Amino acid sequence: MSSIINSLPPNLAKIVQRFQRATDPKRRYEQLIWYGQKLKEFPEADKISENKVPGCVSQVYITAALADDKVIFQGDSDSQLTKGLVGLLIEGLNGLTPVEIVKLTPDFIQETGLNVSLTPSRANGFYNIFKTMQKKALELQS
């Protein structure tokens, strides 16, 4: 097991390990789509410019709230694969404190093997979604 996985929060480490077991790029995509399907229904009322992720080709929305000092994200996208990236990040980051989220680096995507399967615009979208989630976590902290 790599040291990156050991430094990740438990949920994120589990996700990375799950993707590492899926050696076939097609399986990774299926897994990604599965994360998107697991997302809770996103309220239409939250599809506003403040919640829109900048720099994404797809329409991506993220909201964040605090519950017992832990961040709870919700998100949605009009693209199945991007929605999967949103679902993966929500699954991996929900329940962490703002400080834990802000300290993370997006390098774990390399460990999943997804970075080699993602188009440059989707990889860029992943980083934009991740950075937006960090920004929202930071705003909740203050």
Kindly report, residue by residue over 37-87, the tens digit of the pLDDT. Answer: 999 999 999 999 999 999 888 999 999 999 999 999 999 999 999 999 999
Q: Are 27 and 19 in contact (CB under 8 A)?
A: no
Q: Are 60 and 76 in contact (CB under 8 A)?
A: yes
- Produce one character per residue of 26-54: b if its CB has 16 or more CB atoms within 10 Å, e if not: eebbebbeebbeebeebeeeeeeeebebe
Is 56 labeled as catalytic in the residue annotation?
A: yes
Half-sphere exposure of 138 (CA within 13 A, CB side): 9
The pLDDT, as a whole number, for residue 141 is 84
Question: What mean pLDDT do residues 20-45 have?
Answer: 93
Dihedral, CA atoms, 73, 103, 70, 37, nearest 10 degrees? 30
Taking Cα atoms as reference points, which of 105, 98, 46, 35 lies closest to residue 72?
Answer: 98
H helices of 3-119, where? 3-7, 10-21, 25-38, 80-93, 98-103, 108-112, 114-117
Question: What mean pLDDT do residues 109-134 have?
Answer: 90
1 pLDDT higher than 60: no
Round the average pLDDT of the chain to a whole number and report it.
93
31 vs 5, higher pLDDT: 31
Question: What mean pLDDT do residues 110-134 have?
Answer: 90
The pLDDT, as a whole number, for residue 127 is 95
- Domains annotated for the chain, with CATH where assigned, are 3-141 (3.90.1010.10)
Count CB-CB contacts under 10 A for residue 140.
17
Pairwise CA distance, residues 33 & 73, whole Å: 18
The pLDDT, as a whole number, for residue 115 is 82
User: pTM to 2 decimals?
Assistant: 0.94
The proportion of the chain whose per-residue pLDDT surpasses 90, expressed as a percent, equals 76
Query: Hunting for tokens 């404190």 — which residue is that?
Result: 97
Pairwise CA distance, residues 107 & 29, whole Å: 19
- Catalytic-role residue among 53, 56, 86, 133: 56
